[in-house]
Structure 1
Amino acid sequence: MTTHPAPLDTTALVRSGAELAEGAHAHWCRGRDLLLGDSSTSQFIRYAFVGGVTSALYALVFVLLDAVGDVGANAAGMILSTVVANEMHRRLTFHAAGRKAWLPAQTESGGLAAVALVATTLALAAANSVVPGAPWSFEVGLVLVVTGLIGIVKFFALRGLVFGSAR
C-alpha cells in the first residue's frame, strides 16, 4: 500500500506571505514618513544629517587648503560649509524653498552661525583663562559640548524663526 503525502496548504502560505509583505510595507511607510515628514523629529533627523555632511565638507576644505594656512583654510571651510548647510536646511531639513528665498535664508542662518562661532570662541577664551595650558583634548571636548548645545538651540531658531514651521 502506497501512502501519499498530505497536500500542501498553499492558502496558509499565501496568507502568511501577504501578512509579511503588508507588515514590511507598513514599516517602510513609517520609516519613510519619519525621514521625509515635517514633524520636529523628522526635521531634527535631517538637521543632524546635514550637520554631519557639512562638517565633513568643512574638514575636506580645511585639509585641502592647508597650504594657505590655518586661518585661511578655516575661513574658507566655515564659509563654504555654512552656505551649503543653510541651503540644505532650506530645501531638505525644513522644506522651505517655496516659503523662504535664498538670500534671506543665507543672511538669517548665517547670522545664527556667526553667533555660534562667537559663543565657541568665548567659551575657549573663558576656559583658557580659568584653566591655562589646558590640553587640546579638553579644548576639543569643550568646543564639542558648546557646539552641541548651540546646535540644539540653532535647530529651534531655524525651525521657528528663520524657516517657520512646515506647512
Structure 2
Amino acid sequence: MTTTTLSDAAGGGATFRPVPVLDVVIPVYNEEIDLEPCVRRLHAYLTGSLPYPFRITIADNASTDKTPYVAAALSQQLPGVRAVRLEQKGRGRALAAVWSTSDAPVLAYMDVDLSTDLAALLPLVAPLISGHSDLAIGSRLSRGARVVRGPKREIISRCYNVLLRGALAARFSDAQCGFKAIRKDVAERILPLVQDTAWFFDTELLVLAERAGLRIHEVPVDWVDDPDSRVDIVATAIADLRGIWRLGRGLATGALPIGDLRRQLGRDATPAAGVPVGLAGQLVRFAGVGLASTLAYIVIFALLRTVTGAQAANLLALLVTAVGNTAANRRLTFGIAGRRGAVRHQAQGLSVFVLGLALTSGSLAALTAVAPQAGRFVELTVVILANLAATVLRFLLMRTWVFGSHRAR
C-alpha cells in the first residue's frame, strides 16, 4: 500500500497545532466538485462546535481528476486539514491506511456528500472520547432516525441488514451508513484482521468488534440520500455476499482469533451476585437453542408417530435433534469454534442424549403403566414435559462436563 502525504496536519507546517483528539477522514475518488464545499463546511462546524483539537484528513483513492489538487489547496488554506494520496482505489483501504498511522485517540470518517447531518457528529464521538464505548455508528434504521431516500435504496439497506442478522448474528442496526468512529487503541487491534478494502470493510469491522465483546454505540441520524451517488449497487451487493461468506466461514472454523481479541479488548459485564461469570448469557443462548430443538423434536415426533410406535418415534426424534443441539450449543452457547474436540463433544453430547432418552422413555413407560388408555394429547404433553426436564439436565451437564473446560464467551 503506497500513501503520500501532500501536507501535514498543520496546513503546510507553518503553525504548531496540538495532537488532535479527533481525526475525521473523508475518503474520496474523483470528487473535484464536492470536495471543497464538504471540507469547508465540516471545518467550520468542528471549529465552532468541537471543544477539542481536531484534524480533517482527505484520503484520495487514486483519483484521476483534479481531486488531489483541490485537496492540496485545502490543506494549505485551512489549519488542521491534511491530504493523503493512495495509489490504489478502495474506501476500506483508505480508512485502514489513515487510521493505522493517525496519532489521534478517536478516529472517524464520513462520506464526502455529507448526507448525514453534522449535528450527529458530537453524539457520535462523545462516548468514545469519554471511554464509555469502543465504536460508534450512525444509524438510518434505528428509532429516531429521519431518512430521505428512494424506496429501492431503502429496501436494499433493510434487506442487507436482515441478511447480516441471519447469517452473521449481527445485532447492530445499520452497517452501511458512511458515518462511523472508533477508538485508536481498538482500531490497532482489529484493523489487521479486516481483509476487505472496499465497501464491505465497515461490516467486517463491526462484526469482528461485536464478536470481540466491544461496545458499539448507535446514533440515530438525519440522512438525505445523494442522488449523484456513483456506487454500483449490483457489484457492491455481489462483493458483500462474498464478504459475508468469507467472514462467516472464518468465524465458523475458528480461523479468526476472536478469543484472543476478546481477551485483549472485550468488556465483561459485571455478573449479578452469586451468578457465575457468563452464566446469564449462556442461559439465554441455551434457551434459544433449546426452544428450536424442542420445536424440531415435537414436529419430528408427531410425524414419526403416525407411522411407528411412541418409543421408536421418541428415540428417532431425540437422536436427530441431539446432534444438532450439541453442535448449536457448542458454537452459539459456549463459543467454541473450529473442529478441534468436535468429535469428543458430540460423543459426550450423545451420552447426555442417552440420559435424556432414559428420562423421556421412562416417562412414557410410566404413563402407559398408569393410564394405558391415555390419548395422544396426554401422551404428547408428558413427552414435552419430560423433554423440558431433560433440557435442564442437558444444560447442567454441558456447562460442567461437556464444555466445562472452555471459558464462557
Q: Confirm or deny a common fold (TM above 0.5).
A: yes
Closer, same or farther: CA 80–136 of 1 in aligned 2, 3 Å: closer
Tell me the distance in 1 between the aligned counterparts of 2:291 and 2:396.
18
Equivalent residue for 1:149, pick from 359, 369, 389 = 389
CA deviation after TM superposition for structure 1 residue 108, in Å: 0.5
Q: What residue in structure 1 maps to residue 348 of structure 2?
A: 108
Q: Which amino acid counterpart does residue 87 of structure 1 have in structure 2?
A: A
Q: What residue in structure 2 maps to residue 123 of structure 1?
A: 363
Tell me the distance in 1 between the aligned counterparts of 2:316 and 2:378.
25
Equivalent residue for 1:79, pick from 319, 343, 355 = 319
Tell me the distance in 1 between the aligned counterparts of 2:344 and 2:406.
17
* Aligned length, in residue pairs: 151
CA deviation after TM superposition for structure 1 residue 42, in Å: 0.9
Closer, same or farther: CA 140–82 of 1 in aligned 2, 3 Å: same
Structure having the higher strand fraction is 2
Q: C-alpha offsets along residues 60-111 of structure 1, whole Å, 9 cap, x if unaligned?
A: 66688899x4478766544332212111111111113469611111110111
Closer, same or farther: CA 119–101 of 1 in aligned 2, 3 Å: same
Higher relative contact order (CA 8 A, sep 6+): 1
Q: Which amino acid counterpart does residue 404 of structure 2 have in structure 1?
A: G
Tell me the distance in 1 between the aligned counterparts of 2:316 and 2:383.
19
Asked if the contact 2:289–2:329 (Cα under 8 Å) also holds between the matched residues in 1, the reply is yes
Closer, same or farther: CA 146–73 of 1 in aligned 2, 3 Å: closer
Asked if the contact 2:286–2:333 (Cα under 8 Å) also holds between the matched residues in 1, the reply is yes
TM-score, normalized by length of structure 1? Answer: 0.65
Closer, same or farther: CA 106–125 of 1 in aligned 2, 3 Å: same
- Give yes or no for the alignment of 1:51 onto 2:290: yes
- Give yes or no for the alignment of 1:163 onto 2:399: no
Tell me the distance in 1 between the aligned counterparts of 2:289 and 2:388.
14
How large is the Cα RMSD of the aligned pairs? Answer: 4.1
Identity of aligned residues (%): 28
CA deviation after TM superposition for structure 1 residue 59, in Å: 5.5
Unaligned runs of at least 5 residues, structure 1: 1-10
Structure 1 segments, 4+ long, off by >4 Å, are 56-67, 71-77
Structure having the higher helix fraction is 1
- Give yes or no for the alignment of 1:96 onto 2:336: yes
Tell me the distance in 1 between the aligned counterparts of 2:326 and 2:391.
13
Q: What residue in structure 1 maps to residue 375 of structure 2?
A: 135
CA deviation after TM superposition for structure 1 residue 46, in Å: 1.0
Unaligned runs of at least 5 residues, structure 2: 1-48, 50-118, 128-135, 137-171, 173-214, 217-267, 270-276
Asked if the contact 1:100–1:163 (Cα under 8 Å) also holds between the matched residues in 2, the reply is no
